Structure 1
């Protein structure tokens, strides 16, 4: 069911700066109170730093909610995070990228208490030391470091009510004794992801309309354990294990379909009614193990880092897709067609990484390193279609698709403080990618062997000038590449209705991303960020619809709609964002306010389904749009004792052109009331108070094609949470290490 929900999820992948996406993964430990200092938000070298330590903002909150309230960060779908002017944001913890797939990450961040955050770093233009999959931006969460031996932790429970009730609970603990540090977390949640759809498309005399609901139950259980041991004064050894499991049984799609068009024999206009009744059982497991060795080589801060990691990802998915004859009132008149799909996926990855940072006197740093990733994905798909009509034989379409990938990378960066006011960083990364996709039983011989070998040289430049104590200006340029996720190259068809489905593309290639950014900050409270991003051969989902000319030359007899995941032209994004991060009235009122403009330009066209060779009327997106973006987060202290707080948060996203058409405006108003009593925090959150965060996309093509999507994910709701912190709050935080396989893990789903 999650693959089908991509129709909605991709709407946010190309959205403006007021959003946050893939996401990637996150591990979070305990998080402690946060006090807003005089320089709560400032620019440091290649990153923005949001100091949230010692303020009540974090108490009783989740990590996800704190990230949404960080300047330059936002979320419109309450699932993904985005940096202003960027498409993607990767989540790091203490410099270590998190390990979960996107679905698990969202659950993890929402289930983890936010009491231990020291500060949040927003790296809008990552340097060459980050692997190329760190395409658009990095959110690095720095945890507090405790100074004495002992034990501490926290417990958190929450219950929320949207369309359905949901609950979650988590427990975290930190222990330190002399040279040994151990930290662990376990969290669980139970929810039903509900969606309501309206899908319309037409082409000439043919039209289709589908309306109905998707209910996707999810049970999640996950956790981590970190063991860190100080071998001597200069070296540390650490072992990290992360695990996350998801079970989604009895996911349901129920859509009522109306199709209209001329009868292929009589030519008379006729209406047909049907019901799409799809059921799915799925479960997935994500386990990763990382071994790290760190050696400090001098007193200036030079160090060597070695990492070896193993990742195992497994997903099992069985779908039962049924098309039911119906009348105009939606009554069940009997089975027409049934498709049973078995869609397993296995991913195994071994990764190695070495980094050496050499610091010299006079503020000069050289960083050099390399990485190796070896990944194998195995997708043994079964696809059997049964027809009630005895004249139509059963259709069997198995496909055992194996994808092997090897990546070799090396980088060099030079960083120098040229004067008290001026500093710069320059670097480059070189990567070699070899991939091979094979299919031993596909119905399409083109899948038999797909081999790609390519090299990439990726330069980087960052300059920072502190004009004086109050004014700072900086510029950065980076070139990146965005490799397709492993599921995107697996040629699987995910059925929504009889004439409406998504299709992955094994021929999709990596896209190139070029970013430029200029930043001006005044008094560490006001900022202006101007960003330009160019994506070549962007990977997205394209709607092809109409009467099909099949690869064998035959013409179809009805209107079809396929959402094809493939490369689709180029995209320009230009944005300018003005921001304010400041406290007023003796810190009774703290506000984070952003307002900006974004210009989007998509240029692409597609007429052939790359997976089958079938020809459709050409789909073209050569339209630009200019949009207004507004985001606000307000924290109001209601009493002198600092125990009652009111939060008023929201966003507005103007209509804009994305890959699928014109996305209509989105907005949301969220309210929060919080009470702090000793070690307890009680909070009530009301989300999307006005129920205005509903997606609508409309697209008109010059050839007469029309496509409309409305997706309501029932985001208005109430959540009640209770958090308890216990133990010695001065416990030293266990050292976190970047895993060698982190750049691979975000590509699992």
Structure 2
């Protein structure tokens, strides 16, 4: 169900899972009696480079499997990849951001053979030339270039069992002939996302508790088509099209709500029960097209790159929310309140980017470029509230309509200078200048009373960047980076819609949310490409998050005291995150065992206050989060090769995150043990994965305010699951891949999710 009670990503946005790995493995080559060694993992300028072609773990793996074993990278849900200290990892291929949404990108990575990859670059602090937001990091996948013409592809099928069963399938094909390259993919599947909730809150002498389940059925289908044509020896033209559709019908929420009242001495006064039965039908479509032109200017790597793109996103959501009370027989059959919501959203975006890179023979590189994004979102929300009298008779509806249109124009310019002063020392400086002009127009009708509101914002930002890398000697390396970024609110966050969960529990988005600023600095020390120390500090100003507000009120129907709990999307003060972690990544026993172990501490400092819903003006009790926490983080990833022929592999991963203070309260400790077994047989790969074996990856958040207000959330997403997959690779596996092109609308597409 897309209705966000407490989206899991919110819980983890402040977490650092110590997702670091380092690799010291070397590949040995003998040329005419001279033995040479090649480093598999090393630090270069502003990035870490993992030479996959020299790694023993490549054969038989998919790209996603390989990324999970890459130094500095990890995953906790087998869907998303994270970089040390980063909220999000943006995937690039051959220096260009992938033009795919999150789900199709995951399928692409899980169905692309790792043998096609030359190296993987991990950029923890991206430079000014990259269009990323907040503290995002970059994973740049470099594909092999010396490949012959022909056709190749793969088919993959998988089945997953947790509370329910789900299945997925995909088909990919690559074709290259002379100057023409075509790359296409089609994938789909169906699943039911289950969740169990306990929501408990208390203010004064009243306590409210909601317990129950959410089941969200999904059917997905999508694909992409990339066509690349070499116009001349120095120029290429490429067309990319990407499409994804999701249908989520009959999503249900079933909660038992209990209101308990006490007197001032703590004695029970009364208990009321209601049931929430919600049903939602939703579907969304994401289509984008991108045209790219690239011109190589010289043999040193200088080039000009032009992009033009169009993105269309549509989401239609219809929900029927019912509050039920007991009848004379004690069954929940009588309606107390019905709320029908019709929440559509349409986004159109036109984008363009220009990048110019000039390389000089003295190891100096100059880069400059710009981007333009024009976006329009149309949100026409309709709410129909039907109250019922004590006898169960439906009363006239209370209508609340809101038509919110949001127009946004973004202009960006950047310039960077990069210089390699010697074999030991290199540096890079740059800055990015962005101008944002936006206008939000809200036309509201509540009980036939019309109101109009305009929200206009014009601001500009200068975002500096600097990094230095110093190779002290062959065994010691020291690097430092600083960057300034901003995070614009997602379009769904700006849409002033209220998502109803129960009669007294809802989420409220906010058109007044403004962009937040992030300042990130990182110091890294590496020894022998195996041992590492990473110190990181991130400061977020006007952070965008979800804040729980509650208040007591008197129900006019029963004249009884009740509690209202609202999760308000807003800017909530400032936040600092500091982390220090040490670790080791090595291979043992002639590359039979590859292991990574890291341990660290993370210190969070929160400084936020809120007591009013910025959208409605409703006043709640004060919510204050001026708390600090220091947490222990442990993670280890291990791959064991079981035979000499490199056909059997056993994997064991484990992470532990100590309790820590986040925006919503204290997030209790989390841990997970994941096991996998893989068999390579000719062109076939068979795999079995068991995630969260001990069933310990369950979110619990607890908050107690100084005024006595209490809030508790327990969210079980049934992360323990068994997945069986079969992959078949066919054709010429050395076919050269089509250039993967960054769409000019990628930065906008990320904000639709």
Cα pair 1:337 1:388 within 8 Å, conserved = yes
Within-5 A mapping of 1:508-587: 508-547=513-552, 557-587=561-591
Within-5 A mapping of 1:24-39: 39=39
Shift of 1:114: 5.1
Range with bigger deviation, 736-745 or 504-513: 736-745
Q: Distance in 1 between matches of 2:503 and 2:643?
A: 59
Residue in structure 2 matched with residue 310 of structure 1 by the alignment: 310
> Are residue 705 (structure 1) and residue 709 (structure 2) matched?
yes
Cα pair 1:18 1:76 within 8 Å, conserved = no
1:747 match: secondary structure: helix
2:444 match: secondary structure: coil
Range with bigger deviation, 113-122 or 245-254: 113-122
- Of 381, 402, 406 in structure 2, the residue corresponding to residue 403 of structure 1 is 406
- 1:218/1:602 CA distance change after superposition, 3 Å: same
- 1:156/1:673 CA distance change after superposition, 3 Å: same
Range with bigger deviation, 458-467 or 49-58: 49-58
Cα pair 1:278 1:321 within 8 Å, conserved = yes
Deviations 1:554-575 (A, max 9, x none): x995210000011001110001
Deviations 1:299-358 (A, max 9, x none): 221100000000010111111111111489983231111111111110000001001001
Q: Distance in 2 between matches of 1:110 and 1:548?
A: 51
Residue in structure 1 matched with residue 415 of structure 2 by the alignment: 412
Range with bigger deviation, 590-599 or 67-76: 67-76
- 1:588/1:111 CA distance change after superposition, 3 Å: closer
Shift of 1:200: 0.4
Deviations 1:67-96 (A, max 9, x none): 333322233344433221122222222222
Q: Distance in 2 between matches of 1:7 and 1:556?
A: 31
- Of 639, 644, 650 in structure 2, the residue corresponding to residue 640 of structure 1 is 644
Cα pair 2:98 2:741 within 8 Å, conserved = no
Within-5 A mapping of 1:203-602: 203-261=203-261, 269-326=269-326, 331-389=331-389, 393-443=396-446, 448-547=453-552, 557-602=561-606
Shift of 1:118: 3.3
Cα pair 1:234 1:296 within 8 Å, conserved = yes
Q: Distance in 2 between matches of 1:233 and 1:735?
A: 15
Residue in structure 1 matched with residue 629 of structure 2 by the alignment: 625
Residue in structure 1 matched with residue 198 of structure 2 by the alignment: 198
Q: Distance in 2 between matches of 1:50 and 1:499?
A: 52
Q: Distance in 2 between matches of 1:329 and 1:732?
A: 71
Cα pair 1:111 1:188 within 8 Å, conserved = no
Deviations 1:155-200 (A, max 9, x none): 1111111111111111111111111111111111211111111110
1:488 match: secondary structure: helix
Residue in structure 2 matched with residue 69 of structure 1 by the alignment: 69
- TM-score normalised by structure 1 residue count: 0.93
Cα pair 1:73 1:84 within 8 Å, conserved = yes
Shift of 1:513: 0.2
- 1:64/1:196 CA distance change after superposition, 3 Å: farther
Within-5 A mapping of 1:670-709: 670-709=674-713
Cα pair 2:107 2:170 within 8 Å, conserved = no
Q: Distance in 2 between matches of 1:80 and 1:457?
A: 30
Cα pair 2:418 2:427 within 8 Å, conserved = yes
User: Which consecutive unaligned segments of at least 5 residues does structure 2 have?
Assistant: 21-25, 29-36
- 1:3/1:310 CA distance change after superposition, 3 Å: same
Shift of 1:39: 2.7
User: Which consecutive unaligned segments of at least 5 residues does structure 1 have?
Assistant: 21-33
Q: Distance in 2 between matches of 1:328 and 1:682?
A: 58
1:397 match: secondary structure: strand
Q: Distance in 1 between matches of 2:187 and 2:144?
A: 21
Q: Distance in 2 between matches of 1:262 and 1:368?
A: 66
Deviations 1:32-90 (A, max 9, x none): xx999963322111111223336574566554444333322233344433221122222
Q: Distance in 2 between matches of 1:743 and 1:734?
A: 22
Deviations 1:216-258 (A, max 9, x none): 1111111111111111111111111111111111111111110
Cα pair 2:346 2:378 within 8 Å, conserved = yes
Shift of 1:546: 1.8
Cα pair 2:294 2:305 within 8 Å, conserved = yes
Q: Distance in 2 between matches of 1:182 and 1:391?
A: 60
Q: Distance in 2 between matches of 1:120 and 1:18?
A: 19
- 1:110/1:639 CA distance change after superposition, 3 Å: closer
- 1:111/1:676 CA distance change after superposition, 3 Å: closer
> Are residue 614 (structure 1) and residue 605 (structure 2) matched?
no
Cα pair 1:542 1:660 within 8 Å, conserved = yes
1:140 match: secondary structure: strand
Cα pair 1:43 1:49 within 8 Å, conserved = yes
1:53 match: secondary structure: helix
RMSD of equivalent CA atoms: 2.5
Shift of 1:147: 1.6
Q: Distance in 2 between matches of 1:78 and 1:657?
A: 25
Range with bigger deviation, 357-366 or 115-124: 115-124
Residue in structure 1 matched with residue 23 of structure 2 by the alignment: none
Q: Distance in 2 between matches of 1:260 and 1:202?
A: 9
- TM-score normalised by structure 2 residue count: 0.93
Q: Distance in 1 between matches of 2:213 and 2:113?
A: 32
Q: Distance in 1 between matches of 2:454 and 2:198?
A: 39
Shift of 1:140: 2.0
Residue in structure 2 matched with residue 138 of structure 1 by the alignment: 138
Residue in structure 2 matched with residue 26 of structure 1 by the alignment: none
Shift of 1:466: 0.9
Q: Distance in 2 between matches of 1:533 and 1:246?
A: 36
Cα pair 1:275 1:330 within 8 Å, conserved = no
Shift of 1:99: 3.6
Cα pair 1:385 1:394 within 8 Å, conserved = yes
Q: Distance in 2 between matches of 1:117 and 1:195?
A: 37
Cα pair 1:570 1:604 within 8 Å, conserved = yes
Q: Distance in 1 between matches of 2:441 and 2:171?
A: 44
Cα pair 1:60 1:682 within 8 Å, conserved = no
- 1:279/1:61 CA distance change after superposition, 3 Å: farther
Range with bigger deviation, 226-235 or 726-735: 726-735
Cα pair 2:98 2:740 within 8 Å, conserved = no
Q: Distance in 2 between matches of 1:228 and 1:556?
A: 68
Residue in structure 2 matched with residue 24 of structure 1 by the alignment: none
- 1:415/1:603 CA distance change after superposition, 3 Å: same
Q: Distance in 2 between matches of 1:339 and 1:510?
A: 32
- 1:462/1:306 CA distance change after superposition, 3 Å: same
Range with bigger deviation, 444-453 or 602-611: 444-453
Shift of 1:121: 1.8
2:130 match: secondary structure: coil
- 1:586/1:315 CA distance change after superposition, 3 Å: same
Cα pair 1:41 1:581 within 8 Å, conserved = no
- 1:453/1:331 CA distance change after superposition, 3 Å: same
Q: Distance in 2 between matches of 1:501 and 1:255?
A: 14
Range with bigger deviation, 432-441 or 481-490: 432-441
